[in-house]
Structure 1
Amino acid sequence: QVLKQCHAPPDLWSMTLLEHNHCVSMETYGAMCPYKLKSSLKKKFQCVFEGIAKEGTPTLLNQIYTELYITEGRFTEVNSEHEVRQIEAASRKSDGIEPKIKQEDIFKLSTERDEPIRTVMTTGVAGIGKTVLTQKFALDWAEGKDNQDIQFIFLFSFRELNVLKEKMFSLVELVNHFFPEMTEEGICRFQDFRVLFIFDGLDECRLLGTLLSSACIWITTRPAAANQIPPEYVNMVTEVRGFNDRQKEEYFRKRFSEEEQRSIIISHIKRSRSLHIMCHIPVFCWISAKVLEKVLKTKEGGELPKTLTEMYVHFLVVQCKQKNIKYDGGAVTDSHWSPETKKMIESLAKLAFEQLHKGNLIFYESDLTEGGIDIRAASLYSGVFTQVFQEESGLYQDKMFSFVHLSVQEFLAALHVYLTFFNSGVNLMSKGTSVWSRLFKAEPDSVSLYQNAVDQALQSPNGHLDLFLRFLLGLSLENNQRLLHGLVKETESSSLTNHKTVQYIKNKISSTSCPEKSINLFHCLIELNDCSLTKEIQQHLSSGRLPIDKLSTFHWSALVFILLSSEEELNVFDLDKYSASDEVLLKLLPVVKAFTKAV
């Protein structure tokens, strides 16, 4: 409903929204207000706090900003799949196929279009860079670099607007509220200027309304919320794909000035396919950079984390060490997990699990207090937890909270399930867990825990438990338990448990007909350090002798996983290389679909 009166005649709005009692001459207004607005935007957006909000050391946006891969999209059915699945699918697309759009050209008329672009919707998964993209656009305008034909740019986030949901605002009052520098001269008639309104994060919107009849409008959203705006009200859809392979390298080269260090980090990211895929997300690049830099310093070039679980375990350790040094004077010597730190992490993990179960990515003060979380203490974990204060107006004290990325929430949720099981014997993944079964359970059965988790993940039609499952299985490994020593209980050798879990996953791969689910199960095997079958298939591929007639369903699934995980660009797929038969075509259909061209 946001744009339903998009094409209403401007005179319907001129009295109600666009006039103000204080009017000055157009010449004076045009000269003064943009200058004040640009100064305000420069002050607001010239610095960025990567991964966190208003914590840590700020970095100049222009120094760290790495160009994003943006393409023109289209209205399709809403994609409700887990965003990691969407990232993996995007990673298989060749960079050269779809026309790339530069961020400064989003509202510029292209040769293919007859009419100017007025309304744009930009989609992209969480953490892919949509917010920083809009901030960079506004900053470049404020610094006089691009889009100087626009007289005013007003950038709002729906997180901020949600706080005002009980208030009544006209458009003028809304602008004055968030941009107080505009009130000094008074707002005149916007239709005399070219104005751009940017609304960031439609998926976080809790409001309904109709407004804006003739201004330029740019809305960003995660794909799952894109259908809230009917297609007829949008001139162009764009999609932020995050970083392509070249941009990933560019990010790490900007991040690390020492040549040897950045060379080691870039090479390591390339070698681990799961890390390389996740680095499409700028926030994950930030997490990886933070972890790998610290590990290289402390281990003097020792083994770096290769799996997602290892990366996030290190990330949690790094954040808690930072908190200890910054706020506790580094008093903890034998463990990073002081009683206060341990209690806070356990509380955050419980919150992550409960809110993930409800499908919530943003929570409020009441959610924290209900979980017994001290808000001031939570804000100390700046890298793990983001606190957004509505400081711009100075009138409202409402606070909203979120983890720096959905994957961090999923990791902590898995940690909660793991801690609950080994501390109290309660299997949160078992649907039949009752009070009586908790009381009379003689000994926790960890095999059941992991098998229940696998079953629940497979039952999720959109893969919403895919990453959560990878993390839970990864936490069963001894090397990750050693890193979490002091936070998690020491358990007996888990080799037998892991063997049973691996076999259970392999059986599920053989019986599932969904390629996406099979792919995630292979990622689960990687988290469990079992790559036996994929290595076997890779050896056959390297030798050029793939025994097509002897491959089981499991082998075919492994072949699909290997081909889709290949570092090579998926341009042309030649079925003849394997077997030009209908049967093989059907088995390799997911691969055929991923390639640009198939022969």
Structure 2
Amino acid sequence: MVEYQKPFEDTVQELMGRGSYQAKAMVRNKSKVSLEHLFQTKGDFQNPKLLILLGVAGVGKTTLVQKLMMDWALGKLYQDNFDFVFCLKCRELNLLTGKQSLVDVLLLNHNYLLPSIGQILKHPEKILIVIDGFDEFRFPICQLQHQLCTKTDEPRNIDNLLASLLRRGLLPEACLILTTRPSALEQMKVIKADGCFEILGFPEEHREEYFQHFFADEAVAAQAFQHIKENEVVYTMCYIPIFCWIVCTVLKEQGKFVNNYPQTATEIFVHFIIISVKYHNFSGQAGLRACLQKLSKLAFCGVQENRIIFYPEELKAAGLELQDMTSLFCTEILVKEVVGTFSVYSFIHLTVQEFLAALSFFICDNCTLESFYDLDITLRFLFGLTNPSSQNQLAQHIGPFSPAATAQANHWLQVNIELYTTSAWSGEFFMKLLYALFEKNDARVTKEALATATSIGLPSTPLSKVDCLVIRNVFQQGNVPCNMEFNLEGGDLSDGLHVLAPVLHKFGRLL
């Protein structure tokens, strides 16, 4: 965990794009921030009261606050600061109907405090409230200041109650910790935080340590880690603990790493889904396909609406009934969590949800490519799934992919590559095409795409190390015409010029 040094307008792509950002942040922030020092006075912030813990899906935000509460309960942390620590989970707050007071909400999971809650709230300076999963909250919190609640026993709608806490209308003397994904930073503008810290996940040495713990055989662990480290695009994603687990699961199942090692994120998830369905009994291929159709439909709806938490009524709307959820396959992919007296569901990781959303384009009816244009990661998986090898491997288990959907995706890619060489597309749009080619991982298609190009341009485009790795891979795979011009003028290449070096000699002219 390090101090977050970016403005709240965070445009860094979650997960895939953030892997190289994490490496930079590790270098930039030489000293880590420990839980013990979160509430220390620092710089302009005297006696900080409201802190934000930021991190992408699956990086460990909830685990960290659980550790915080456990250490406090064991007398190891904040003993002089707080007499009471409450945790409010936004996925639970979403389920509350009607008007609630803060007292009602605090007692939801602590009903035994009913006789003393009034006395507890008389000393708000000794209270810490953790609000976990703010990005999962269904409602906006942009309440006007004069609408905020100020009384702990006054019933309000749950969105007003949360806004009143965060905007310091309620219990302004209490301390708050808010956990969230970067996707919710836009809403943070109305919150006056006293500090923001980012959980960065596994540094490089912890990734290697994870592989060593996962594989019983030390030599196999070293071989697996070396292979993943050589694939830098996939390796940068391994800062997410659960992605490390997915990668290790795939490598362990394959057994032999050299010949059939997955090269792209799409190929990783193709193998992961195959492993997940391999040992589970369905009523034939049709039963599995029907189950995946429902799951992928749910995944796509969630990605479209930037949601990772699903409630029983949403599962039902996607056609998933209770009997579907008893399948071991479903419970491995879609995890059930009991929150109070309710059940909520989430895919085991956001990348799995995005992969299944992409799969919906090929196995569900009435999907149009236009629906995916703004879903960058899902779109990459979609083009990765047009790879014949990936399709064939999955089709053995779930039946054929729609030929019309595959043709539509291939046509879109071909047309837009051709248009780019003759039109003034933005650098960001061309990067989208390059990522599509990279995930597709089809040397013939890449060569055809580059064959007639005379000019490639990414001017004034900030390029991460991962972006540069993708560019290098695509141009190594394709034949670059000797007269091709490559325009990088004004772009930020501080992280990736050395990465591009092996292919720059192929271009007739560099700008």
Question: What TM-score comes out, normalization by structure 2 length?
Answer: 0.74
1:154, 1:496 → 2: CA distance? 53
C-alpha displacement of 1:111: 5.7
Match of 1:140 in 2: 71
1:131 equivalent to 2:58? Answer no
Q: What is the 5 A alignment of 1:172-321?
A: 173-183=104-114, 188-190=119-121, 191=123, 194-205=126-137, 206=139, 207-209=159-161, 210=164, 211-230=170-189, 233-296=192-255, 299=256, 302-321=259-278
Say if 1:533 and 1:556 are closer, same or farther in 2 by CA, change over 3 A.
farther
Q: What is the 5 A alignment of 1:544-563?
A: 553-554=455-456
Does the 8 Å CA contact 1:509/1:521 hold for their aligned counterparts?
no
317, 322, 341: which one pairs with 2:288?
Answer: 341
Q: Deviations over 1:507-550 (max 9, x none)?
A: 35545654443333222222222469999xxxxxxxxxxxxxxx
C-alpha displacement of 1:481: 2.1
Q: Deviations over 1:304-361 (max 9, x none)?
A: 2221111111221222235x1xxx4xxx7xxx96443222111111222234334443
Q: Which has the larger radius of gyration?
A: 1
Does the 8 Å CA contact 1:154/1:197 hold for their aligned counterparts?
yes
Question: What TM-score comes out, normalization by structure 1 length?
Answer: 0.64
Q: Secondary structure at the match of 1:591?
A: coil
Match of 1:169 in 2: 101
C-alpha displacement of 1:254: 3.7
Say if 1:250 and 1:165 are closer, same or farther in 2 by CA, change over 3 A.
farther
Match of 1:574 in 2: none
C-alpha displacement of 1:262: 2.0
Q: What is the 5 A alignment of 1:472-511?
A: 472-484=382-394, 485-489=396-400, 503-504=414-415, 506-507=417-418, 510=421, 511=423
1:528, 1:594 → 2: CA distance? 22
Match of 1:97 in 2: 28
Q: Which letter does structure 2 place at the counterpart of 1:523?
A: Y
399, 402, 419: which one pairs with 2:363?
Answer: 419
1:590 equivalent to 2:492? Answer yes
Gaps of 5+ in 2: 140-158, 165-169, 448-452, 470-484, 498-511
2:45, 2:287 → 1: CA distance? 62
1:389 equivalent to 2:300? Answer no
Match of 1:11 in 2: none
C-alpha displacement of 1:584: 9.0
Q: What is the 5 A alignment of 1:570-589?
A: 587=489, 589=491
1:429 equivalent to 2:369? Answer yes
C-alpha displacement of 1:134: 1.3
C-alpha displacement of 1:120: 0.2
Q: Which letter does structure 2 place at the counterpart of 1:474?
A: G
| RMSD (Å), alpha carbons | 3.8
Q: Which letter does structure 1 place at the counterpart of 2:194?
A: N
Say if 1:530 and 1:217 are closer, same or farther in 2 by CA, change over 3 A.
same
1:241, 1:288 → 2: CA distance? 19
2:313, 2:197 → 1: CA distance? 36
Match of 1:524 in 2: 436
Match of 1:154 in 2: 86
Greater RCO, 1 or 2 (C-alpha within 8 Å, sep 6+):
1
2:189, 2:413 → 1: CA distance? 46
Q: Which letter does structure 2 place at the counterpart of 1:151?
A: D
C-alpha displacement of 1:158: 0.5
Gaps of 5+ in 1: 1-68, 431-452, 536-550, 568-582
Does the 8 Å CA contact 2:465/2:496 hold for their aligned counterparts?
no
1:376, 1:106 → 2: CA distance? 48
Q: Percent identity?
A: 27
1:270, 1:175 → 2: CA distance? 46
Match of 1:122 in 2: 53
Match of 2:506 in 1: none
1:365 equivalent to 2:312? Answer yes
Say if 1:508 and 1:130 are closer, same or farther in 2 by CA, change over 3 A.
farther
1:407 equivalent to 2:345? Answer no
Say if 1:94 and 1:364 are closer, same or farther in 2 by CA, change over 3 A.
closer
Q: Secondary structure at the match of 2:332?
A: coil
1:495, 1:416 → 2: CA distance? 12
C-alpha displacement of 1:474: 1.7
1:229, 1:469 → 2: CA distance? 28
Q: Deviations over 1:275-304 (max 9, x none)?
A: 1222232332232222222222xx587522
1:212, 1:585 → 2: CA distance? 55
2:192, 2:42 → 1: CA distance? 21
Does the 8 Å CA contact 2:338/2:344 hold for their aligned counterparts?
yes
Equivalent pairs counted in the alignment come to 442
2:196, 2:235 → 1: CA distance? 27
Q: Secondary structure at the match of 1:208?
A: helix
1:213, 1:413 → 2: CA distance? 42
C-alpha displacement of 1:195: 2.2
C-alpha displacement of 1:73: 3.4
C-alpha displacement of 1:83: 2.3
Match of 2:450 in 1: none
Q: Secondary structure at the match of 1:155?
A: strand
Does the 8 Å CA contact 1:498/1:528 hold for their aligned counterparts?
no
Q: Which letter does structure 2 place at the counterpart of 1:478?
A: P
Match of 1:468 in 2: 378
2:270, 2:310 → 1: CA distance? 23
Q: Secondary structure at the match of 2:40?
A: coil
1:202, 1:560 → 2: CA distance? 29
Does the 8 Å CA contact 2:387/2:442 hold for their aligned counterparts?
no
Q: Deviations over 1:105-150 (max 9, x none)?
A: 3524256466222210122222232212211222232333333323
C-alpha displacement of 1:86: 4.8
Q: Secondary structure at the match of 1:590?
A: coil
